Amino acid sequence: MALDTAVRAAFERVLDPRDVLSDPVKCRAYECDGLTGYRVRPDLVLLPRDAAQVAAAVRVCHEHGVPFVARGAGTGLSGGALPVADGVVISVARLKSVLEVDPVNRRAVVQPGVTNLEITAAAAPHGLYYAPDPSSQQVCTIGGNVAENSGGAHCLKYGFTTNHVLSCEVVLADGSVVTLGTDTGEQAGPDLRGVFLGSEGTLGITTAVTVRLLRAPESVRTLLADFPSIAAAGDVVSDIVAAGIVPAAVEMMDTLAIEAAEEAVHAGYTVGVPAALVVELDGPVEECDAQFELVKAICEEHGCTRLHIAGSPEERAKIWKGRKAAFAAVGRISPDYFVQDGVVPRTRLAEVLDRIAGMGEEAGLRVANVFHAGDGNLHPLVLYSAAAGETERAEELSGAIAELCVEMGGSLSGEHGIGTDKACSMPKMFGEEDLATMHRVRAAFDPDGICNPGKVLPTPRLCGERPGKYKPHPLEESGAIERL
């Protein structure tokens, strides 16, 4: 059933008719996000030009009971921006202004379509930056970051989007506009901004975001270290933490990931070693230097077979380039792969990686690992060949790994979100009463259920479907963004 013409006319009254797309060919561009296996062509795509138009469009949705899905850059990897049949997509792509950079108060106010990296670009002249750094940061929007509570390699020390967003202007499901949060961390009453952060577009559309900016650190030190086993590298991470050091980032790669990355970008990684760590420290120069010496000693204690210290910004960039290239590079050693995103307590990393290796062997599939070791956020890559008929087995293995993370006391997702992809796994992590409570929260924001329905919380309809083959995001294929 297509949306009737009266609804379309109503949208055309509140937006410029040219900003209401109904041509099926044009709408097709919005039929999926980075999780390309799920596709639904929306009936209409709306491209409002300001917050007032977003609110007006949502009011039309509310009046006519039309479900809507907010969309940023569409880089989400869990199908969060998947359109709803008979619904509309509301893109914030045109709300792209940096409204204010306030160096005195170290904050910025931006529209939701501003990309993560554009915030830092606007802050840089003042010696400031925006800390959360998803690897899609060149293209993903702050609105999408808010919805997904996005993180990046440096979030171990600096925290996630939720720790850096002070307030959001939000259009609620009835078209009313409210501000969640305040100019400071101080709040009067329950923290509604905190509930909205990470709600994956199910509680409203954000039309302006006030973020905290940080002063760029005085000093940054980066090293790459090889180890004879995953366990040894894991012990290094534990000992760094036990020594009271909070690194800016700690990333781990296994043999397969190293091999793929090195083949792709020649970053100077050692092919064949069982594990490599990238450790980065930042802060005041005295502190950074003292702790760096300690980190080096810890690496050596655990049988580090090679320690490479970045001697210049170029060398540092090269080390990171290898790490960042690992995902895409895996495509060189396998025709197809699934990317999983789970979290385990850091102390169980070695055990979990062992279990994953065992599960891979049993399934007759290789699994490459490249992940945020500091916060236990795994990204196992399940390699397979669709041509050889391995798709189903790979998908099962990938799903089993996510559930293994939960069994280990971890989480179904560390940064890509639940979206459409993992909604049906939520009962593995949460009980009925937990999910029912989340439903109540959702209904308080959106009583009619028109705001990104079907995402996050399981619905029977979605749970019958399978996502289909993983494909790289078009921006990834074009080399515009990399996974991390």
Partner 1 sequence: MNSPLTHPAPTTTLRPTDLAGVRDAVRDTPGRIAVAGAGSAAGWAGALEPVDAVLDVSGLSGVITHNPGDMTVSAHAGTPLRALVEELSEHGQHVCIDAARIADGATLGGLVATGDAGPAALVHGTLRDLVIGVTVVLADATVARSGGHVIKNVAGYDLAKLLHGSHGTLGVIAEVVLRLHPVPQRTATLVVDAPLARAAEIAARVLEGPFEPAALEWVSDGSGRLLVRVEGTDEALPARVSRLREVLGGASATDIVSGERHSHPTTSGESAVRSEDPWLRHAELTRGTPDAAVLRIGAKPSVLPGLVSELAPAAATVGLGTGVATLSLAPDAVADAHRRVHAVGGTSQLRARPPGADAPAWGPPPSALPVLQALKHALDPDGRFGPGRFSPWM
CA proximity to 306, closest of 258, 264, 266, 269 = 269
Q: Residue 317: enclosing H or E segment and its boundaries?
A: helix 313-333
Binding of residue 125 to partner 1 (CB under 8 A): no
| Amino acid at site 471 | K
Q: Residue 109: enclosing H or E segment and its boundaries?
A: strand 107-110
Selection from ligand FAD, partner 1, none that 364 binds (CB < 5 to 8 A by kind) is none
Binding of residue 446 to ligand FAD (CB under 6 A): no
* Single residue of 120, 141, 162, 369 touching ligand FAD by CB under 6 A: 141
Binding of residue 427 to partner 1 (CB under 8 A): no
Selection from partner 1, ligand FAD, none that 313 binds (CB < 5 to 8 A by kind) is none
Binding of residue 326 to ligand FAD (CB under 6 A): no
* Single residue of 42, 80, 374, 380 touching ligand FAD by CB under 6 A: 80
What's the token pair of residue 300? 């050596």
Nearer to ligand FAD, 206 or 340 (CB): 206
What's the token pair of residue 56? 């007006």
250 beta partners: 279
How far is the C-alpha of 233 from the C-alpha of 248, rounded, in Å? 17
- Maximum C-alpha span of the chain: 72
Q: What separation in angstroms does the CA of 191 have from each of 186, 307, 368, 436? A: 9, 45, 39, 20
What's the min distance (Å) between Cβ of 265 and partner 1?
A: 26
End-to-end alpha-carbon separation of the chain, Å?
40
Q: Which residues in 17-56 contact ligand FAD (CB under 6 A)?
A: 33-34
Q: What separation in angstroms does the CA of 170 have from each of 55, 126, 145? A: 9, 28, 14
What's the min distance (Å) between Cβ of 389 and ligand FAD?
A: 27
What's the min distance (Å) between Cβ of 305 and ligand FAD?
A: 28
CA proximity to 72, closest of 205, 210, 213 = 205
Nearer to ligand FAD, 201 or 283 (CB): 201
* Single residue of 21, 70, 128, 197 touching ligand FAD by CB under 6 A: 70
Nearer to partner 1, 118 or 375 (CB): 375
- Using Cβ positions, the residue closest to ligand FAD within the complex turns out to be 144
What are the two backbone dihedrals, phi and then psi, of residue 167, each rounded to the nearest 5 degrees?
Answer: -155, 160
Selection from partner 1, ligand FAD, none that 426 binds (CB < 5 to 8 A by kind) is partner 1
Q: Compute the C-alpha angle 166/172/178, nearest 5°.
A: 45
How far is the C-alpha of 264 from the C-alpha of 40, rounded, in Å? 34
Nearer to partner 1, 99 or 290 (CB): 290
How far is the C-alpha of 123 from the C-alpha of 172, rounded, in Å? 29
Binding mask 83-122 for partner 1 (x = CB under 8 A): -------------------x-xxx----------------
* Single residue of 147, 173, 249, 275 touching ligand FAD by CB under 6 A: 147
Binding of residue 189 to partner 1 (CB under 8 A): yes
Nearer to partner 1, 61 or 349 (CB): 349
Burial 217-237 (b: 16+ CB within 10 A, else e): beebbbbbbbbeebbbbbbbb
Selection from partner 1, ligand FAD, none that 314 binds (CB < 5 to 8 A by kind) is none
The DSSP code sequence of 330-389 is HHHH-SEEEE--EE--GGGHHHHHHHHHHHHHHHT--EE-EEEGGGTEE--EEEE-TTTT
What's the min distance (Å) between Cβ of 303 and ligand FAD?
A: 30
Q: Which residues in 240-279 contact ligand FAD (CB under 6 A)?
A: none
Q: Of the listed pieces 133-141, 227-235, 392-400, 462-470, which binds ligand FAD according to CB under 6 A? A: 133-141
How far is the C-alpha of 22 from the C-alpha of 474, rounded, in Å? 23
Q: Which residues in 286-345 contact partner 1 (CB under 8 A)?
A: 286-287, 289-291, 343-345
What's the min distance (Å) between Cβ of 371 and partner 1?
A: 11
Binding of residue 6 to partner 1 (CB under 8 A): no
Q: What separation in angstroms does the CA of 468 have from each of 5, 330, 391, 460? A: 33, 19, 9, 18
Binding of residue 484 to ligand FAD (CB under 6 A): yes
How many other CB atoms are there within 10 angstroms of residue 386's CB atom?
Answer: 13
* Single residue of 415, 420, 423, 429 touching ligand FAD by CB under 6 A: 415
How far is the C-alpha of 63 from the C-alpha of 254, rounded, in Å? 53
What's the min distance (Å) between Cβ of 366 and partner 1?
A: 25
How far is the C-alpha of 191 from the C-alpha of 81, rounded, in Å? 25
How far is the C-alpha of 143 from the C-alpha of 159, rounded, in Å? 17
* Single residue of 42, 201, 380, 453 touching ligand FAD by CB under 6 A: 201
The DSSP code sequence of 371-383 is EEGGGTEE--EEE
Binding of residue 379 to partner 1 (CB under 8 A): no
Task: State the residues that interact with ligand FAD by CB under 6 A.
Answer: 33-34, 69-77, 80-81, 92, 112, 134-136, 140-141, 143-145, 147-148, 150-152, 200-201, 205-206, 415-416, 452, 455, 473, 476, 481-484
